[in-house]
Amino acid sequence: MAKDLTGKKVAFLGAGKMGSIILQALLKNGLLSPKSTFATVAHEERAQALAAKLKVKVGTNNVEAARDADIIVIGVKQQVVEDVIREIKGHITAKPLIVSVAASVPTSMIENNLSGNVPVVRAMPNTPCQLGAGMTAISKGKYASAEDIAMTCHMFDVVGRTVVVDEKHMDAVTALSASGPAYIYIILESLAEAGVKVGLPRDVATLLAAQTALGAARVVLETGDHPALLKDAVTTPAGCTIDAIMELEEGKLRVTLIKAVVKAAQRAKELAFG
């Protein structure tokens, strides 16, 4: 399969929060044509609302959407994936590329529920994909080719950055970058609260906190410098920052963040389906 979505029929089974973020971005960037895109949801009224919003065919019939599709994106909740795969089994022609964004669902579970060597790719995006600032890790199943991976990267590159990892790392990815926005929002909320405590208006405090996080993240990504070196550059001897760092160390910020990610990764493993 060439790395080109032109003319490809794409079915989005489960166009909820994550599915519709990806679908919307692909349509907006012209990678998908509305004519060859078909999405599904569980509720008829949501199907109608989404169809009106995105100007694509949206229904509740997975078989109808998946039939003839070249690419099938699975965007339903983890516990529904197996039912949806069994539902479409026997109705998909040729060998479509299946791209699943479901956390804790191994590619083998999907492969084992389909007959033939259907290529399956697992993708783990995050919610900042809605602004093109997402992070998506991608891993290949047993039958997926290098072209399938390239095609999946091409789809997710429009919503941010992509990285290809071995599937054994997917629970760690889920814990770090998929759940990660929640941790960062708590940090931003706390920094804004701190700004209020030291006398700033809340909107100014939130702006300062969020733009500072964005700026620091960009410096890490664009210079490739180690975060510890960048931190040292902000820390003047006997200045203010070192006093703040002492408080962070005493409050065990580092170990708390490490333990949070470890817990989330363990939970992702516990929730594994199949």
Instruction: Pick from 37, 126, 130, 139 the residue near ligand NAP by CB under 6 A.
Output: 126
Cβ proximity to ligand NAP: between 19 and 106 the closer is 19
Q: Pick between residue 36 and residue 126 the one whose CB is nearest to ligand NAP.
A: 126
37 vs 195 by CB, closer to ligand NAP: 37
Cα torsion 208, 185, 265, 176: sign? negative
Q: Binding residue for ligand NAP (CB under 6 A) from 77, 226, 231, 259?
A: 77
Which span sits near ligand NAP by CB under 6 A: 114-122, 124-132, 149-157, 228-236? 124-132
Q: Which of 69, 101, 114, 137 binds ligand NAP (CB under 6 A)?
A: 101
Q: By CB neighbour count within 10 A (0-12 exposed, 13-18 middle, 19+ buried), where does 261 fall?
A: middle
Q: For residue 99, state whether it binds ligand NAP (rule: CB under 6 A).
A: no
The span of 16-24, 155-163, 202-210, 246-254 binding ligand NAP (CB under 6 A) equals 16-24
> Among positive and negative, which fits the CA dihedral 71, 77, 80, 81?
positive
Amino acid at 93: T
Nearest distance in Å: CB 255, ligand NAP: 25
Structure-block tokens of residue 58 = 């949206």
CB of 166 to ligand NAP, least distance (A): 18
What string marks each residue from 23 to 52 as x (binds ligand NAP by CB under 6 A) or -? -----------------xxxx--x------
Give the residue closest to ligand NAP by C-beta: 16
CB nearer ligand NAP, residue 69 or residue 84: 84
Are the C-beta atoms of residues 110 and 141 closer than 8 Å to each other? yes
Please, which of residues 162-221 interact with ligand NAP by CB under 6 A? 178
Regarding 244 and contact with ligand NAP (CB under 6 A), the answer is no
**107 part of the interface to ligand NAP, by CB under 6 A:** no
Q: Residue 127 interacts with ligand NAP (CB under 6 A)?
A: yes
Q: Which is nearer to ligand NAP, 65 or 209 (CB)?
A: 65
Closest approach of Cβ 95 to ligand NAP, in Å? 21
Which residues are near ligand NAP by CB under 6 A? 13-19, 40-43, 46, 62, 75-78, 80, 84, 101-103, 124-127, 178
